[in-house]
Amino acid sequence: MSVPIQPLGDYVVAEPMEAATKTASGLYLPGGAQEKPKVVKVVAAGKDVKAVKAGDQIIYKGYSETTIKVEGTEYILVKEEDIIATVK
């Protein structure tokens, strides 16, 4: 997959994962009520990023990202220092 954004320095580019549309009890959530995903899949990493690579799933600090839409796809840019965990 070719990513149209090449991150610089210690930034990573990630794609959001699907937000839950249904609660644990079976209720369906309208679009505005869905929680913004904090688990994303890394699609590219800057040259200074040491801890993650493309393909990793990460959890990042809320409100620390930059969101951009390119060619109809939403991407999230996060600094490596704002990544708090990887998902196995």
The yes-or-no verdict on residue 70 having pLDDT over 80 is: yes
Whole-number CA gyration radius for the chain: 14
Tell me the per-residue pLDDT of 5-51, one tens digit each, with 9 for 90 and over.
999 999 999 998 765 556 667 766 565 544 555 889 999 999 999 99
The owner of tokens 């929680």 is: 35
Q: Looking at residue 2, what is its pLDDT?
A: 80
Tell me the per-residue pLDDT of 71-82, one tens digit each, with 9 for 90 and over.
999 999 999 999
Contact 73, 64 (CB under 8 A): no
Q: Is domain 1-18+35-88 annotated with CATH 2.30.33.40?
A: yes
Q: Looking at residue 18, what is its pLDDT?
A: 66
Global pTM exceeds 0.75: yes
- Residue ranges per structural domain of the chain: 1-18+35-88
